[in-house]
Amino acid sequence: MRKVLACTALFLALMAGCHDSTLTNSTFVGQDTDSLFFHTEDEIEQAFSSSFALGNMDTLVRLEKRLQAFDGPLAAYWRGYIAYLQGIYLFTENKRDSSSLYIEQGIEVLKSQELSSESSALLGMLYNFSVQFSSNVMIPVISHKADSYFQQSLALDSNNLRCYLGMANKDYYTPEKFGGKKNVNDLLQKALTKPDRLDEDARLPSWGREQAYELLIRHNFESGKVAAAKTYYKEAVELFPMNYQLIRLSSLFLE
């Protein structure tokens, strides 16, 4: 189950109506800095994909080092996101100890700044991922921390797609005997009703919709709701025809 958590995290590898203003409170100096943050998300996603193709995460490391030159919650968010993806990559490479270190690093970076809806959602994801490195005694404590950050994220902005995705992922991987697998569908469907960004500022995160579709398709298929899974699959590939992970799901429906 824990191995599956990492694989799905790969596709992952985050007060009602309020704008997430604290995330954009950084001090930006000059056009070059603005340009950096306008393209940061695309660069990170491309670097993450190339890590698997090249067999190393050198590009992610370079991006993280570049972001260290900037202060504020926005730079911290993207550094935390990179650490999350590095943790996922290393876990899939069976380097659990190194993966755990990067997840802890992401948590520390995010907690060094004032928290926003986005950084709280990402913290929830990081803590949820860290459960697989924890002792049985600590799992309930860390799971509660993840829940607390998800709730904080929603309190700051209830329109956060990534928060609903994070909560759905947590519920999906929680065994039924511990109260899991009850709200996956509802949480993912709610995620898909939310905007990609909480604000029109193009420097803010917009990822998560493809991952929500991927998990929704898998969950419905595994629950025996094949017709629903096919419907979500068709909708997803129409929206994201070049998404490799979604295309791969076609194998679920082969006779």
Query: What distance in Å separates the CA atoms of residue 210 and residue 193, rounded to the nearest whole number?
Result: 13
Cβ contact 219:184 at 8 Å: yes
> Which residues are CB-neighbours of 108 under 8 A, at least 6 positions away?
none
Query: What distance in Å separates the CA atoms of residue 100 and residue 126, rounded to the nearest whole number?
Result: 10
Distance of CA 37 to CAs 1, 5, 26, Å? 36, 30, 11
Query: What distance in Å separates the CA atoms of residue 234 and residue 228, rounded to the nearest whole number?
Result: 10
Global pTM reads 0.87
Give the pair of three-digit tokens for residue 173.
């991987």
Which candidate, 115, 200, 124, places its Cα nearest to that of 162? 124
Cβ contact 185:220 at 8 Å: yes
How much is the CA Rg of the chain, to the nearest whole Å? 17
Cβ contact 85:50 at 8 Å: no
Q: Which amino acid is at 130?
A: S
| Sequential pLDDT tens for the chain (255 residues) | 444 344 444 444 332 233 344 564 333 334 445 567 889 999 999 999 999 999 999 999 999 999 999 988 999 999 999 999 999 999 999 999 999 999 999 999 999 999 999 999 999 999 999 999 999 999 999 999 999 999 999 999 999 999 999 999 999 999 888 889 999 999 999 999 999 999 888 899 999 999 999 999 999 999 999 999 999 999 999 999 998 889 889 999 985
